[in-house]
Structure 1
C-alpha cells in the first residue's frame, strides 16, 4: 500500500529511532517521513546487509563527517549506487538539511529512473516525494525531495542558474570512470565550488583501476575500496590475440550454454549496434528450434538508445532463458539483474572520435578498459561463468580516453563561457581538451556571433546558451524568429535532438519500411521530411493505442516521436520565457520554405557541400573532403530517382564505412552567400566551389537575392527579432 505523508519535514529528525531488524515488539518509524516501517522495508534491509558495500558504512559516515570529498571504488554489484546515496541522505538529515539535500548523478537516463525507484522502495518512501529523479524532459521531484537522482547533463543545466549548487548539501558523482563530457565538467567545476562552500560534501563513485587520476586531481582525500565477488570460473580465448571472429564464437557459446541445461540468463557484450542486431536476428531464428529443458531461448536487444532497455531486464515471461545482447559502456544497465549466470565478453567496443580539422566523427573499434573488463566479469556473481574472448594476458588500457578529448566540444565551451559570467573561474579538468578541438570550438562560436571582440559571450551567445541544443541549432532557432518560421524550426530542432524516429526492421520487412518512410519524403529535403513526419504524428495522436498502431504500421519509433514532442514543448517554453516571437505555422508555402532554408543557413553555413560531378560526390567547402548523401535521404540511393541538388546543407557527417552526410536539404549558392558571415567566407580554403561563389558574389547576384529577401521582409510585416 502506498504510504501517505502526514508530518512536516522540519520535525522529522526528532522522530528518528533505532532501526535494527529484530525489534518486532517496538513500533519503529521512518526518519524520513515519520510513518511506521512496512514489512517490505525489513525484508529489503536484510538483503542490503549482504551487499559488499554495507561493511563500509561506518567508515564512510566518519569520512563524510570530517572531509569535504570522499572517493569510493567498486563494481556494479557492490551496491554503492543504491546504498551510499541513502547514507548521504542520513548525513543531511542529521544536520536537519541546513546545507541542502542530496543529488546523485548518472550517465544513463533509464538507470537514473530505476535507481530512484529501487532506493525509494528500500527507504520505504514514495517516489516523487522524499526520493525523486530528473532526466531530460521529465522531472519527478517535489518540495519534499531529500535525495534526487539525475543525469549528469541535467546537473550541469542546474549550475547555469545555481553555479554553487546551494540547494545541495551532498553531491554524488556516480560512474566517474566513464569520463563523459558532462561528468568531467562536474569534476572540474566542483573543485571551485568546494573552495567557495566549505560545508558542501562531494562523493565520487568509480570503478576499480580508475581512482588514481582522481586522487592526483583532488589530492590527499579518503578512499574506500570495495571488493566485488568474482565468478566461480573464467574461460579465456586462445593465444595472444584471442578470438578473431568474436560474433560467430559468441553465438556458438550461447547455443552450447542453452543446450547444457544449466540455469541462468546470458549477457553477450559485442562492439556495435549492427552486431547486436545481427546476433538478435540469428538467435531469434535458430533459438526456437533448439530443444532444452529450460524452454525457449529469448534474445533481448539492450542498447543505450532504447528507452525501455533496463525495464526489459526485470521482466520474465514464462519458462525461458534470456540472452541480453548489448554493446558499449552498458555494464551498469545490469545492476538489478540477479538472474545472470553467464557472461560472454568480446573485449572490444565502438567509439566515436571527432576530428576538428574536418568537423566530422569517425567510428573506431578498440579494446575496452581494464575497469570495464573487471565489471563485466563480476556481473555473474560467485556461482557464474565468464567467457572472455580474449587472452588472459591481453594488455587492456587502464581507462578509456576521456570523451572530452574525442568529442566536439563547441557546446562545452559555450557552457563554460556562461559559467564565467556566473562567477566560476576556469574549469580544472582532470584531462584537458584537445587544443585543436578547443580552438575549433572557439572559432565556430565566433562565426556564430556568440562571442564579442574580447572573447566573452555576446548577447546572442547568452541567449544561445539558454537552449539545450547544439550551438548551431540554437543559432538557427534564433534566426527563425527573424524569418518568421519558428514553428517549423522548433519541429526540426526537436526531431534532430531526439533519437531517429525511422526504424530499420529485419530484412523481410525492410522494403515495406522503406516505402512507408518514403511516403513522408519532401522534395525540398530531409529537414522538411522531419516536419512531415512530426505533423503526421500529431495528426494521428488520438489515443496511445491508435498512435502506437500507426507508428508500427509506418515503422516509426513512438518513443522517439514522444521525446521530440517533449523537446519541442520545452524549447517553446524557453522562447516564451525569453520573450522571443513564436510565429504561426505556415508550412508548405514558398515563402515559408525559403525562410526555413535561410534560418538553417544562419546556423549551419559551416556544413555546406556541392556536387562536383553530377553523380552525388559532394565536396565539403570547409575542409575539401568528398562524401556521399546517406542512402535513406530524400536524395539517397534508396529513394526514387530524383535529380541531385547542386548545393546542399547537411546536419551530420560521419566518417564510417559509407562516408555519408545525413539530413540533407537543397539550398542555392545565392542563399548561402546571403547568410554566410564574410570573414567565414574569406577563410574558406581555395577551391573551384569557392571560385564559383566568389564569381556570383562579385557579379551582384547576391545583392539581388538580398533585395528579394528585403522585399519579402517588408511584405511579411510584423515585429522581427534581428539576429545579425
Structure 2
C-alpha cells in the first residue's frame, strides 16, 4: 500500500480496476459523475504506479504526474486539497502552476495546472519529458485547449513510448475519447449522492434574473434556512447584481459568497472555508464540475451560461447567454445531495429542459476558424488540416480562416508564418478581425472609441424592434443613427447612456431601465456591452500597461470625426 490514504469515495473503490487498466494500457478513460472523487484521487493512483515502476526499474528517473484543469481556481484548490489528504505542504510533493501564481519545487511529484500552462510548456519541451503521466481532467468540456492537447498527445504517444495518459470525463459520451485513442479501456465510476428532489420555478413575466433568484432563495428559506445554497448564474455581472440584492435583504445568519474568474485567488478560496452561518454561493459554471464546494444542500439553477459562439452572418465571435445543455443541467444537479438529501430548484420549466441539446457543442464547432488557426500557429501545433482533431473542421471553414488572417495582415502569405501583427493578435483572446481593429486604434490613438465599438460588435444588437411596434422603434433609433457610419451610431448610443452612470462600474438602474423602455433598447444587452467593454479595457491594460481613455463627453472630441 502507498504512504497515503484514499478517502471513502466511489473512485477509491475502483482503485484496483483503474490501476490494472493503467498497467495494461498507456491511455485510460475514466468516466465518473460529479463528486465521485476523480479529480483528487486519480493523481494519487498515478503516483502509486510511478513509484511501483521505479521499484521495479532501479536507476530509472521517475517523472512527474501532470494534471490539467480548465480553470485557475480548480487547479489551485484541488492542489491544496490533495496536499492536505497526503499530509504534505503545498509546493512540496504536490504543487500547482497557473497564470500569475506558482508553487512548484524540485520535490514536486504531482503538479496541477491549467490546460493553457501545459500547452505553453509544449513550446519549450515538445516531448514534455518532465512528465511520466498526464491527466486531462474535465475533458468533456471540450474547450479548444483540451482539443489541442488531445490532438497533440495523439502524436506525442507515438514518440514517447513511456508516457501514460488518463482522460477524465464527467459525461457519458466518453466513448469518443476511447475510439480516438484506438479503443482505450474505459472505467466507469458511479457518483456519491443522497436522493435529490427536483422542482421547477419558472420566471414570471418581465421578471429580472436577480429578483427571480431572490424568489428562489425565499422558497428554499421557507423549507430550511440553515442549509448552504449554490446558485448557478451566467456571469460576473449577474453574480454582482444578485449579491447586491441579497445582501440588501439582510438575510438572517447568512453570508453571500460570489465565485467568478476575475476574483483574486484568496477571494475565491473563501468558498472552501467552513462557516457557522448559512452560505449562499453565487457561481458561474466554474462550480459545475471542476470545483466541489463543501456543504451544499440546495442548488438553484438559472439554466443559463455565457457561451462564446461565432456568428457567420456578422463574421464575429460573440459571448452570449444561452440555455444550458441537459448534460450541464445534470452536472449542476449533482452538486447537491452530497452530504444529505438535497433539492435542485430550476428557474425554468420541464419543457425547456427536454428541448435543450443533450451536450454542449465542442468549442471548435462554435469558433471562428481564423481564431483557431491563429492559436495553432502561435502554439506551433502544425497544419490545421493535418492536425488530429476529435471533430475536424471542414476544409471550407479552414480556407475561410486562412483568408481572414491574410486579410488582417496576420500571415506573411496564405500558408506562411505569423507576422508581428499576427503575434500581437494571438495574445488577445478576441476574434482576429476585432483584435485587428484594437491594434490599429492604438496606433491611431483612438483606442477608447474603438474599444466601445468592438465591445458593441461582440454582443447582440442592443436595439430592439418588437413586432407591432417596429415603426415606433425605428423612429426612436433614428436619433442615434449617423448617416455615414454604423460604428458612430454605436458610439451615439453609448454616449446617450453615460448620463445614467454612477461611476465606472455602477448605473442608476431605474432611470436606465425607463430610458431603455422609451428608446426600445435592451437593458440586459447594454449591461453585457458594458461588461465586455470593461473586460477589453482590462486586457488592454495587461498587454500595454495603459488602459484606454473613456469616451469624451463632447462628441466633437471623438477620435478624428471632425477631420
TM category, shorter: 0.7 to 0.9
Equivalent of 2:17 in 32, 36, 59: 59
State whether structure 2 residue 83 is matched by structure 1 residue 123. no
Question: Unaligned 5+ residue runs, structure 1?
Answer: 1-17, 20-29, 31-40, 289-294, 481-487, 493-522, 531-612, 641-653, 666-692, 694-700, 702-724
Deviates more, 1:304-313 or 1:387-396: 387-396
Measured in 2, the distance between the counterparts of 1:469 and 1:257 equals 39
Partner secondary structure for residue 628 of structure 1: helix
Partner secondary structure for residue 428 of structure 1: coil
1:110 paired residue number:
73
The aligned length equals 480
Equivalent of 1:348 in 304, 307, 312: 304
Q: CA deviation at 1:427?
A: 2.0
TM-score by length of 1: 0.57
2:37 paired residue number:
79
1:526 paired residue number:
448
Cα shift readout 1:393-417 (whole Å, capped 9, x = no counterpart):
7324221011222234544313423
Q: CA deviation at 1:441?
A: 3.4
Q: CA deviation at 1:614?
A: 11
Partner secondary structure for residue 331 of structure 2: helix
Measured in 1, the distance between the counterparts of 2:496 and 2:181 equals 52
Cα shift readout 1:259-287 (whole Å, capped 9, x = no counterpart):
44453201122344444333222221224
Partner secondary structure for residue 113 of structure 1: helix
Instruction: Tell me, yes or no, if the aligned pair for 1:352 and 1:361 is still in contact at 8 Å.
Output: yes
1:93 paired residue number:
51
Question: Unaligned 5+ residue runs, structure 2?
Answer: 55-59, 453-476, 503-521, 538-559
1:371 paired residue number:
327
State whether structure 2 residue 390 is matched by structure 1 residue 430. yes
Q: 1:243 to 1:76 in 2, by over 3 A?
A: farther
1:332 paired residue number:
289
Q: CA deviation at 1:70?
A: 0.6
Considering only CA atoms, is the larger Rg found in Structure 1 or Structure 2? Answer: 1
Instruction: Tell me, yes or no, if the aligned pair for 2:46 and 2:65 is still in contact at 8 Å.
Output: yes
Equivalent of 2:186 in 184, 198, 223: 223
Measured in 1, the distance between the counterparts of 2:533 and 2:192 equals 45
Cα shift readout 1:641-669 (whole Å, capped 9, x = no counterpart):
xxxxxxxxxxxxx998349694899xxxx
Q: 1:464 to 1:65 in 2, by over 3 A?
A: farther
Deviates more, 1:129-138 or 1:357-366: 357-366
1:69 paired residue number:
27
Measured in 1, the distance between the counterparts of 2:83 and 2:37 equals 15
Q: CA deviation at 1:627?
A: 5.3
Instruction: Tell me, yes or no, if the aligned pair for 1:192 and 1:424 is still in contact at 8 Å.
Output: no
1:205 paired residue number:
168
Cα shift readout 1:454-496 (whole Å, capped 9, x = no counterpart):
603156489659968767899899999xxxxxxx99xx9xxxx
Measured in 1, the distance between the counterparts of 2:93 and 2:213 equals 44
Partner secondary structure for residue 525 of structure 2: coil
Q: CA deviation at 1:344?
A: 1.9
Measured in 1, the distance between the counterparts of 2:425 and 2:164 equals 28
Partner secondary structure for residue 154 of structure 1: helix
Q: 1:438 to 1:616 in 2, by over 3 A?
A: farther
TM-score by length of 2: 0.72
Q: 1:358 to 1:334 in 2, by over 3 A?
A: same
Instruction: Tell me, yes or no, if the aligned pair for 2:451 and 2:533 is still in contact at 8 Å.
Output: no
Cα shift readout 1:70-107 (whole Å, capped 9, x = no counterpart):
11111331111011011112222333364732111111
Cα shift readout 1:658-709 (whole Å, capped 9, x = no counterpart):
49694899xxxxxxxxxxxxxxxxxxxxxxxxxxx9xxxxxxx9xxxxxxxx
Instruction: Tell me, yes or no, if the aligned pair for 2:32 and 2:171 is still in contact at 8 Å.
Output: yes
Deviates more, 1:196-205 or 1:426-435: 426-435
State whether structure 2 residue 244 is matched by structure 1 residue 300. no
Q: CA deviation at 1:228?
A: 0.8
Instruction: Tell me, yes or no, if the aligned pair for 1:351 and 1:364 is still in contact at 8 Å.
Output: yes
Equivalent of 2:112 in 149, 158, 161: 149
